[in-house]
Amino acid sequence: MTALITILSILLLFVVLLQIAKINEITAEMRGQEETDLHSADQNGRWLLIFGVVFIGSFIWGSLYYANRLLGYGPLKAASEHGSSIDSMFNVTLIFTGIVFLICHVALFWFSYKYRYTPGRKALFLPHDNRLEVIWTALPALVMTILVVQGLVTWNKVMADVTKGEDFIEIEATGWQFAWNLRYPGHDGKLGVKDFRLIKPGVNELGQDWNDERNHDDFNADELVIPKGKKIRVRIIARDVLHNFYLPHFRVKMDAVPGIPTYFIFTPIKTTEEFRQELRKYPEYQLPSDPNDPTSPPKWKTFEYELACAELCGKGHYSMRRLVKVVSPEEWEIWNKKQKSFYLSSIRNTEEDPLKGKAIKAEAFMKTEEMKTMLQKALDSTNTNAADRTIRLDNIYFELGSATLDSVSEMALNVLKETFDLYPKLKVEVSGHTDNTGSPDINLKLSNDRANAIKNYLVSKGVGTDRIAAIGNGSNKPVDSNETEEGRSKNRRIEFKILSF
C-alpha cells in the first residue's frame, strides 16, 4: 500500500512539473524571450542565494546539534590515553577542511547571485595567471604537509610497541566468521604458542600447542575485561577473512588479517562506572534505556563499552559485538584469578592432552591456590568442623612408583613451609595412602617413603622435625572403592592433618 502511494505521489509530482514547464513556455511566448530570460536569471540568482544561506545555516546548526553524538565531543571524549591525540588530529583536519568548505560554498552561492545574467555585462577573460597558479598550488600543499606530518607524528606515537621490561597485559583477539576469541595469558602473563595445523573445531579453535607450558594457564573470556591505567597490548589476528578490531570509545582500530598478526597498544583511563557518571550529566542519557518502557533504567546506567568488528566481513558481521569492561586494577586481579584455564578445564588428561598423567606447573599452581583456601579454613580457630583439619595434597607429585619428589611439587611445599613459619605452634601428621593394586608390603613402604619425603623436604627448609609425624598407611585406609579407576585414584593420596596450632 505504502509503495503504491509513493509511486502515485511521484507520478503526480512529475505531472505537476510538466504543467509548470508548459505554463512557463506559454508565458514566454506572451512576454517575449528576452524578458523571460532576464526574469528567470533573476529568480535563479535569488533562489540560489536563499538555498546557500539555508544550506550553510543547516550545516552549522546540524554540526552543533549532533556534536554530542560524535566521537570526541561532549560525553564521547576518549577513554584511553592516546585517544585525545587522535581526536585532536581529526579536529585540526576539520578546521582546515571546514574553512575551505565555508569559503567555497559562500563564494559559490554569492557569485551565482551577484553575477547572474545582466544584459550587456561581459565576463572577464583570464586565460592564465602565474601568481594565482602559485597560490592555489602552494597553499593546499602547505596545508597537506601540516596534516600529513601531524598524522605521522601521532601514528608513530600511538603505534610505538612496548619496550623490554615494560609492564603490560597482553591479550589475543582472533576474529572469524562470526565471533571473536579473546585469549588471556593467565597467571604467568604469557600467551602460549599456536600452530594452525593443530586447529580442531570445537576442541582446539586456536591451534594452541599443549606442549608449551605457557598455554596451560591461558583462558578465554566472553567479554574483554581490562584494568584502568594499565597498558594493554592486543595481538590481533583473523582465521578466515579480514576483520577489524574496533573499540570506538578507546580510539582503537586495527585490521585483523589472516596470517599476519597485527597489534594495538592502549591504556584505558576511565572505568566503565566513571564513564557512566560522565554520561549522567547529559540530558539525552537520562532517557529510559528501553524507549518502550518508561520505567527502565536511564541510558547512562546501562551504558557499556563495546568491541565491534569494523569490517563488513559477512552477513553475520553484527554478531561480532562483545562487551568491554574497564574495572579497577584490584577488581581485575580478582577477576583474572577466578578465570578457569581452558587447558585445565577442557583438555587436561583427555585424549587431546600430550602431557596426560604428567605433573605440570599450571595444574600445581591451581591446586596450590585451592590448598591455600583449605589451609585458611583448617587454621581458622572458629571452625569446629574436624573434617576441615585434614587436607588432601593433590599438588604434590612423585615420580612414577617412587618416593622422589617431582620439582613441580615445590610450589605446594613452599606454601606449607610458610604456613609452619606463620603458625609456630603448628603440628601435623602427613600420611601416605595407596590403592590396593600390587603387593601390600611394597604399598606400605611406598606410602611411608612418600610421607617421609615430604617431611624431609620441610625439615631441610628449617621446619622442626618434631612438628611433623610422617606415616605410611598403604592401602589400609581407603576413602573409596578400589573396584573402579576413579575410586582407586581417590585412594592414592597424601593427607596433611592439622593436629594442633
In degrees, rounded to 5, the angle at the alpha carbon of residue 252 between the alpha carbons of residues 250 and 256 is 150
Residue with cell 585434614: 390
Instruction: Assess 313 for contact with Cu ion (CB under 5 A).
Output: yes
**DSSP, res 173:** E
Grid cell of 500 as nine digits: 594442633
SS3 334: helix
Q: How many residues does the chain have?
A: 501
Instruction: Assess 309 for contact with Cu ion (CB under 5 A).
Output: yes
Size of the site for Cu ion (CB under 5 A): 4
Give the interface segment with Cu ion, choosing from 213-221, 288-296, 311-319, 481-489 (CB under 5 A).
Answer: 311-319
Measured from the CB atom, the residue of 252 and 313 that comes closer to Cu ion is 313
CA–CA separation, 141 and 123 (whole Å): 30
Measured from the CB atom, the residue of 214 and 239 that comes closer to Cu ion is 239
Neighbours of 391 (CB within 10 A): 19
CB of 239 to Cu ion, least distance (A): 11
Instruction: Assess 367 for contact with Cu ion (CB under 5 A).
Output: no
CB of 222 to Cu ion, least distance (A): 17
Written as one string, the DSSP assignment of 43-70 is HHHHHHHHHHHHHHHHHHHHHHHTGGGS
Measured from the CB atom, the residue of 56 and 242 that comes closer to Cu ion is 242
CB of 244 to Cu ion, least distance (A): 7
Do residues 307 and 245 lie in contact, with contact meaning Cβ atoms separated by under 8 Å? yes
Q: Which of residues 314-353 bind Cu ion (CB under 5 A)?
A: 320
CA–CA separation, 178 and 58 (whole Å): 40
Measured from the CB atom, the residue of 72 and 258 that comes closer to Cu ion is 258
Measured from the CB atom, the residue of 59 and 178 that comes closer to Cu ion is 178
Measured from the CB atom, the residue of 310 and 393 that comes closer to Cu ion is 310
Which helix or strand (DSSP H or E) is residue 442 part of?
A: helix 440-460
Measured from the CB atom, the residue of 310 and 463 that comes closer to Cu ion is 310
Q: Which of residues 225-264 bind Cu ion (CB under 5 A)?
A: 243
Show the DSSP H helices in 71-129 as ranges.
83-114
Chain residues binding Cu ion by CB under 5 A are 243, 309, 313, 320
